[in-house]
Structure 1
C-alpha cells in the first residue's frame, strides 16, 4: 500500500515540477515525509528539478547521501543539472568526478554545464576524456559542443568537432546543422557556413535565419539580402526574427537603400506593428545617421517599449544631441514609461557638457531616489559626466560612494583629475588602484599619461609607460605614443619626441609635435614637421594656422 501511496505522491510532485510550480512541489515533498512516507529514487530524481537555491540543494544532497542514492547514475545526473542551475561549477565537477561510472546522459549533463560556465578548451578536453572512456557522442552532445564554440579563438576545436560529427553514423538533425552554421558564423568563417547551408536540403526557418544572421553580424548586407530573397522565392514564411536578423546588418550609408526597401516591404503587413522589428528599424536609422527618418518612425510608432526609447536616447547621446535627449526623456515620463539603468546611463552620458550639468544633477537625484546607485556602469557614467563638465568634487563624491570599483571606475576618476591638471592626485589614484588589485587597461594608461603630460611629470609618466608594457603586457597604440610625444615635448625633449614618430606615424602625431615646436619656438624643426603634417593631411586648416603662428612668433 505504501508503494502505491508513494507512486501517487510522485505523480503529483511530477505534475507540479513539469508546470514550473517548484514551490508547491517542494511543499509536497516535505508533506510526504511528514506523513511517514519514504521518498524513493523516482521522488528524488523528480524533486531535484525543483531546486534552484544552492544551499537548499546541498541539504538535499546530504539527505540523498544518507539514503545511499548518490551512486545511482540517474540521481547523479539530476544533481549535476541542479548545481548547473545554481551556477555552482565546483559542485558540478565534484558530483561528476565522484560518480562510479559515466553514461551518455551524465556526460551530456556535465558537458552542458561546463559549456555554459567554462571555456570551450575545457569542453574540448572533457570530450576527449569521454571518448577515451568509450562513450560516443549523440546529437544532444554535438549540439552542446557546437554551441560552446562561440568565437574565432575556438575555430580549431570547432573544425575538429565538425569533422567528428561528419564521421559519426548519426542522422544529421536539422538542429545540429543550424548549430554548425551558427558556429561558423561566430568564427566569421562565412564560406564554411554557406557551404553547410547549401548542402542542407531540408532547411527550416531557423536555418535561413541563422544564415542571414551570420552575414548580418559581419556587415555582409548584400549577401544577407540575397539569402533573404532566396528564402522568399522558395516560399519560406518570414517571421519577425528573419527581419530583425536582416535589418541588423544595415549599418552604413551604402546598405541604407536596401534597408529602406525592406522597411517599405514591411509597411502594411502584420509585422509592421511587431515591436522587435520596429526597434531593429529604429536602430538601423540611428546607426546610419538618418535623424529625420528615425524621428518619423519613432513618432509614428504607437507601441513603444523601453528598448524603443533607449535606442533613441543612445543615438542622441552618441551624436551629442543632448537637448534632444532631454526632450525625449521628459516625453518618456509623460507617456508613463519608467526609465531603466540603460535609459539613465544614456541620459548621464548626454549631459557631459558644462552647460547641461544641472540636468545631469537632476538625473543623479532620480538615480539616488530610485535605488539605481548599485549599478556600477551607471555610477561610472556619473563620474565621467562630472569629470568632463568640470565638477571634480562631485565626481569624487560619486567615486567614494561605490562599494565596488572596476577598471572603468578607476579610469574615470583618474581622467577627471587629469582634465583638471591634477597630475599628482591622478598618480596617487593610479597607485591606489593597483593596491586595490584592479588591473589597469589601455584607457587607464592613456589618461595617466595625459595627466603626467599636463602636470610636467616626465619621470612618472615614463615609468607608467614602461610599466604598461613590462608589467601588464599591453601594446601601446598610436594614442599612447601621441601622449608620450606630448609628455616628452612639453619637457623640451623634442629630439626624442620626433624620433618616436617613426615608430607609428599619424597625422595627429605630427600635429602634436608641431604644436610643441611652437611652444618651444623651434622654427627649423617646426618647418620640417609641418611639411610632414601637411603631406599627411593637406586639408587641415589648423595646421596652416599653427605654421603661421610659429613664423609670426619667430619674427617678433
Structure 2
C-alpha cells in the first residue's frame, strides 16, 4: 500500500491519532496502523514519540512478534530509547506476547523508570504466573519510592497468599491504607482472600462487615473461606443472606462454594435447589460447576444423580473422573468404582495420584487385599514415582489387611517419609496386636525428629494400653502435655484408658478430673476403668455423678456398671441397676446386659436364677454364646455338671470352632472327676479341628518384651525364671507378703 508524500504530510499526527482511536474496532484497523507507520518510514519521515506507542500496541494486539521486534530495532536506531513512554510501550508489547525475558532486559536497561514502568513489569510477571519475581519487583518499587496502582496491588496480594508470605501480605494491607486504596472494592476482595487463605476467618469477616459495597466476588470469597475450614453451616447462612440481596446474582465461583457447603453438611434439598438455579442461569454446562455437582451429590449419598451429571457432561477432565470415582467409593459402590477405572483406561484418560488413592480406598473398604497388591504392581511396572499421598495410602491399606511385612518393606523403600507415614505404621502395629513394634516405631520416629500429632499419640496410647506399659504411658502423657495435645478430648480419653489398662486408676481419675469437658465416651471409659480394676463401688458412685451431669448414661455405661458389680460381688446393686434400665425407655437392656446379669448370678452361685434370666428374655432377644458361656463357666466353678451339659451344648452349637466352650466343659468334667467325659470332649475338639491357643505371660525388661508360654523351655534363661516362679509359689503357700515383688525388675545379667 503506497502513501504519497503530500498526503502523509497533510494527514499529520491528527490523521494517525484518528486511526489509533478507530483501531479498537477491528483487527483490520490495527493492521492499518502498522501499515501507516511503514508508509511513514518508507518516505523517510521520522515518527515522533506520540506515533510509536500505538504501533507497539497494535503489534501486541495482533501478537505480531516479528514486526514488534523489528520495530524495536527501528526505534533504537531513531534514538527513542531515552523516552520513558516509548520504552513502556515496547515493554508492554513484550509482556502481552509472553516474552518476559525481553521485557525484563528492557526494564533493567531503562534510563528513567516511572510508576507506569514499575506497574507494567510487576503486573506482567504476576499475571504470567511468576509470583516470586513479581513480588520481588514490587518490594524494589517500594524502596525506590514508586507508587503501585490498584491492578498491581490486587495481583501482589494474590501472590502473597499463593507463596504463603502472609507477613508481607499484612504489610501490604497497611500500605493500602496509607495509599488511600482501602475502600477500593477489588482491593478489599483481594485482602479478604488473603485472610481467607490464611484461615483467619475473624479478619476476613471483619473486612466483609466493613465493606460499604459488595459484589458477588465478596460473597463468594467469604462463603468459600467458611467452607475451606469446614464451617459449612456458616457458609450456608451467608448464602441465605446473599440470596436476600436481589442485586447480587449467583455466579460460577459462588455456586461452587455453595455446592461444597451443601455436600459438607449433606443438605441434598438445598443442593438440588442450587442446581436448579444453575440450570436456569446456564451454568450447568460449566466444567467446574459440573465437577462440583458430582461432588455434592456424592457426599449427599445421591450417587445416581452424580452419575447422571457425569454422563451428561459435554466435556470432562481428570477432576471429573476422579470426583466420580471418589463418589462411588464414598457410597460403597466398589465394583462400580473399579469398572469406572477400567473405562478410564479404555478411553485413554490419564490417571493421577488422586485416582490411585480413591482406588486404594475402594480396595481397603471392600476387603480386597489382592486388588491393593495389583495397584502396587501397576505403579512399579509403569515406573511411576508416586508421591507421599499414594505411598501413605498403600501403607494404610496394607496395615488394614494386617500385611505388616509388606507395609514395612514399602516404608523402608520410601525416599521421603512424613508424619503420616510414621503414624500409619504405628497405627498398623497397634491395631494388629503388636504393641511392642508400635512402641519401637514411635521411638524411631522421635529419633528421626518427627513431631507427633493427635493421631500418632492415639495409636501410641493404644499400644501402651495393649502392653500394659505404665512407665511408657507416663512418658506419653508427658509428651502430650509438652505438645499441648491434652486439650483434645480423644487424647485425654485414650490416656484414661491406657492408665486403666496398666492398673493405675488413680492416674486415670486424675486425668478425668482435670478434663474441661467430657463426652459420653469419656464417662464410659472412666466407669469401665474402675470396674475392670475391681473398684465396683467407685464405679457406682461415678454413675450417680454422671446422672447429675449434662451427659447422661447410655447402654454402654450400664454394661460397664453391671460388669463392675458382677466382678465386685455387688449382686443387689447390680440387679437394682438392671431394674432401673428396664423402667427407663431410653435404657432398655439388650442381649449383652442380660448376659452380664447371667454372669453376675452365676458368679454368686445362683445358677437357677441365672437360667431363669436366660429363659425369660423378652421377645426379640435371644441368649447368645456369651450368656450360655457365662452360665457354663459358673457351672464349672460350682460343679453343676447337669446344668453345665445343657449350657455346653448351646455354646458349642453357636460357636462350633471356638475352643472356649470345649475347654470350659472339659475342665468342668475334670473338676468333678468325670475323666471319661473330659477325654471325650478333648477327642471331639481334635475331631472338629478346633485349636486351643496357648496362654502366655509377657514381661518387659528395659526396652525388650519377653514372652513365656506354659512349659516352654526356649528362653535362654528359662531355668532361672522357673526357679523364681517356684520360689514365689512357695512363699505364697507360707503366707509371705510378696506385694513388693509385683513390679520387681529382674537383672538378667546376674
TM-score bin (small chain): 0.7 to 0.9
Report the counterpart of residue 34 of structure 1 in structure 2: none
Q: How far apart are the structure 2 equivalents of 1:151 and 1:370?
A: 30
* Higher mean C-alpha displacement, 271-280 vs 403-412: 403-412
Determine whether 1:540 maps to 2:652: no
Q: 1:550 to 1:411 in 2, by over 3 A?
A: same
Determine whether 1:168 maps to 2:291: no
Q: How far apart are the structure 1 equivalents of 2:585 and 2:434?
A: 38
Q: How far apart are the structure 1 equivalents of 2:599 and 2:266?
A: 37
Report the counterpart of residue 414 of structure 2 in structure 1: 301
The RMSD of aligned alpha carbons is 5.4
Q: How far apart are the structure 1 equivalents of 2:406 and 2:449?
A: 23
Q: How far apart are the structure 2 equivalents of 1:379 and 1:412?
A: 11
* Higher mean C-alpha displacement, 308-317 vs 183-192: 183-192
Structure 2, gaps ≥5 residues long: 1-115, 133-149, 675-750
If the length of structure 1 is used for normalisation, what is the TM-score?
0.74
Contact 1:111 1:123 in 2 (8 A): yes
Q: How does 1:172-321 map to 2 (within 5 A)?
A: 172-251=285-364, 255-267=368-380, 271-321=384-434
Deviation at 1:312, TM superposition (A): 0.8
Structure 1, gaps ≥5 residues long: 1-6, 21-40
Secondary structure of the residue that 2:363 maps to in structure 1?
Answer: coil
Contact 1:313 1:347 in 2 (8 A): yes
Deviations 1:365-424 (A, max 9, x none): 544566554444333322211211222233234434545544443332222111012122
Deviation at 1:157, TM superposition (A): 3.3
Deviation at 1:186, TM superposition (A): 1.6
Contact 2:468 2:501 in 1 (8 A): no
Determine whether 1:461 maps to 2:573: no
Q: How far apart are the structure 1 equivalents of 2:376 and 2:224?
A: 39
Determine whether 1:337 maps to 2:439: no
Deviation at 1:82, TM superposition (A): 9.4
Q: 1:296 to 1:528 in 2, by over 3 A?
A: same
Q: How far apart are the structure 2 equivalents of 1:484 and 1:83?
A: 59
Deviation at 1:280, TM superposition (A): 1.1
Contact 2:624 2:654 in 1 (8 A): yes
Report the counterpart of residue 631 of structure 2 in structure 1: 514
State which of 497, 500, 508 in structure 2 corresponds to 1:384: 497
Determine whether 1:427 maps to 2:543: no
If the length of structure 2 is used for normalisation, what is the TM-score?
0.57
Contact 1:317 1:325 in 2 (8 A): yes
Q: 1:235 to 1:358 in 2, by over 3 A?
A: same
Contact 2:595 2:627 in 1 (8 A): no
Contact 2:524 2:560 in 1 (8 A): yes
Contact 1:146 1:183 in 2 (8 A): yes
Secondary structure of the residue that 2:263 maps to in structure 1?
Answer: coil
Report the counterpart of residue 30 of structure 1 in structure 2: none
Q: 1:126 to 1:422 in 2, by over 3 A?
A: same
Deviation at 1:234, TM superposition (A): 2.8
* Higher mean C-alpha displacement, 344-353 vs 439-448: 439-448
Report the counterpart of residue 464 of structure 2 in structure 1: 351
Deviations 1:107-155 (A, max 9, x none): 5456556656898678667756755654553222321221122368523
Q: How far apart are the structure 2 equivalents of 1:419 and 1:503?
A: 30
Deviations 1:419-441 (A, max 9, x none): 01212211222333454534555
Q: 1:83 to 1:465 in 2, by over 3 A?
A: farther
Report the counterpart of residue 29 of structure 1 in structure 2: none
Secondary structure of the residue that 1:149 maps to in structure 2?
Answer: helix
* Higher mean C-alpha displacement, 184-193 vs 478-487: 478-487
Q: How far apart are the structure 1 equivalents of 2:157 and 2:557?
A: 47
Q: How far apart are the structure 1 equivalents of 2:195 and 2:439?
A: 46
Contact 1:313 1:346 in 2 (8 A): yes
Q: How far apart are the structure 1 equivalents of 2:404 and 2:277?
A: 50
Q: How far apart are the structure 1 equivalents of 2:206 and 2:554?
A: 35
Contact 1:445 1:468 in 2 (8 A): no
Secondary structure of the residue that 1:304 maps to in structure 2?
Answer: coil
Deviation at 1:291, TM superposition (A): 2.5
Deviation at 1:192, TM superposition (A): 2.4
Report the counterpart of residue 615 of structure 2 in structure 1: 498
Report the counterpart of residue 31 of structure 1 in structure 2: none
Contact 1:351 1:360 in 2 (8 A): yes
Secondary structure of the residue that 2:364 maps to in structure 1?
Answer: coil
Q: How far apart are the structure 2 equivalents of 1:130 and 1:328?
A: 51
Deviation at 1:338, TM superposition (A): 2.4
Q: How far apart are the structure 2 equivalents of 1:379 and 1:121?
A: 28
Contact 1:120 1:148 in 2 (8 A): yes
Q: How far apart are the structure 2 equivalents of 1:48 and 1:300?
A: 41
Report the counterpart of residue 741 of structure 2 in structure 1: none
* Higher mean C-alpha displacement, 400-409 vs 288-297: 400-409
Deviations 1:236-275 (A, max 9, x none): 3322222222222211685222222221121265643522
Q: How far apart are the structure 2 equivalents of 1:164 and 1:523?
A: 75
Q: 1:469 to 1:141 in 2, by over 3 A?
A: farther
Contact 1:181 1:194 in 2 (8 A): yes
Q: 1:512 to 1:96 in 2, by over 3 A?
A: farther
Deviations 1:188-207 (A, max 9, x none): 33332222222223211111
Secondary structure of the residue that 1:380 maps to in structure 2?
Answer: helix
Deviation at 1:214, TM superposition (A): 1.9
